[in-house]
Amino acid sequence: MSEVPSKWVPLEASPDVFNAIPNACGSIGLLHSLLNLPERGPDALNPDSKLAQFKAESLPLSGLERAKLLDETTFFTVAHTNAAQTGQSVVPTDLDVDEHFIAFVEGVDEKGEKRIVELDGGRNRPLDRGASNNFLVDVAKVVQEKYFERAEGDVNFNMIVLAGKSDD
């Protein structure tokens, strides 16, 4: 599947990366986080959910095939539209925004060691941000060093943590 749908807009940074769903990076960041939940246990996706079904269907596909599946899947469009329209503000649909969302998920390498994985739609692959002994603390350190310190006074940051109940 090498043909890209004509409605997808190539990104300036890379003509091989496309924006198929405009102004949905927040939803895509949430989708990355949810699709990377543990397979089993209290934090796992409900196996009967549309999201779990989408995950199972997309796993054997290439990146482009996954993007096409997401673009053609109505449950995501409906969920994104509902979330975008929930609230009190009237938001234009043709905004040219420069904000961006990314997701950090916990990965495990071939040695079984926990890693911090950054998922960013503007990159062509996941980015390994290093080892992790305490995911929340370690991600906060990455964000401080890689984003806050480089932003020099910019306060347009927001972090949301999706986490299970603490053992503490």
Active site residue 25: yes
Token readout for 29 is 């960041």
Active site residue 100: yes
What sign results for the dihedral spanned by CA atoms 119, 102, 132, 37?
A: negative
β-partners of residue 114 are: 108
SS3 143: helix
Token readout for 2 is 């090498």
Neighbour-count burial of 98, counting CB atoms closer than 10 A to its CB (0-12 exposed, 13-18 middle, 19+ buried): exposed
**Which residue among 18, 24, 25, 55 is the active-site one?**
25
**Which residue among 10, 65, 100, 157 is the active-site one?**
100
Contact between 70 and 7 under an 8 Å Cβ cutoff? The reply is no
Round to whole Å and give the CA distance between 25 and 18: 12
Active site residues: 25, 100
